[in-house]
Amino acid sequence: MGERLRQLGRWLLGLLLLPFRLLWRALRATWRGLGQIGLWLRRQLAALLGAAWRFLGRMGLALRHLLTRFLWRPLRFITTPIRWFYGRFLRRPLAWTAKYLRLLLTLFFILPGRWLLRQLALFMGWLIVRPVRRTSRWLRDTTRRRWAAAAPARYLRRRRWRSRRQVWQARWYLFWHRQQPPRQVEIAPAGPRPYRRRRNTRL
């Protein structure tokens, strides 16, 4: 009986899950079909682009051969005497002339121009740095004067704090180290303290 119920439950569960299985199989088949279509399109495009690229490459090689045969070689043949004359008689004098011209340009234009630019940069830097230095000096002097003017007040505060700290330290020491009075001793009751006038001493 139990085995039959389990089989019946499995059959009902399979029947309920059948639409989802069919939908999943349809989606898988659709995805595979789209993948196959994408691969086919990729192959076709690769073949088409490869053929076009090879055609352009052949056209470029043909154009290169044509230019080399009908333009570069005749131009090279025509300019052979000029190149020979330049390499035999004009190359060294022109190189020396270019070298000396470069030296003259360096001496009369580049070095003075660098010096002028350096001086201009120093002048502009001085115009910018001078107000900053003056402001920093004024702030430094003002801070020093105010610090020096407040020195007596700081001295009094330090002295008061030091006195209070010493009092608290003494009280704390007595609280921990004072001996207890004997049991037979009689302690007088606390009375009012006498009034003391406060005196301020200026230093």
Token duo for residue 23? 């939908």
User: Which of 95-104, 170-179, 186-195 reaches the highest mean pLDDT?
Assistant: 95-104
Mean pLDDT over each residue of the chain, to the nearest integer: 84
Among 73-77, 93-97, 175-179, whose mean pLDDT is lowest? Answer: 175-179
Token duo for residue 100? 């000396």
Rounded to two decimals, the pTM is 0.33
pLDDT tens digits along 51-67: 889 999 999 999 999 99
pLDDT tens digits along 38-47: 889 988 888 8
Cα(10)–Cα(4) distance, rounded to whole angstroms?
10
190, 184 contact by CB (below 8 A): no
- The DSSP secondary structure of the chain, one letter per residue, reads -HHHHHHHHHHHHHHHHHHHHHHHHHHHHHHHHHHHHHHHHHHHHHHHHHHHHHHHHHHHHHHHHHHIIIIIHHHHHHTHHHHHHIIIIIHHHHHHHHHHHHHHHIIIIIHHHHHHHHHHHHHHHHHHHHHHHHHHHHHHHHHHHHHHHTHHHHHHHHHHHHHHHHHHHHHHHHHHHPPPPPTTPPPPPP-PPPP--------
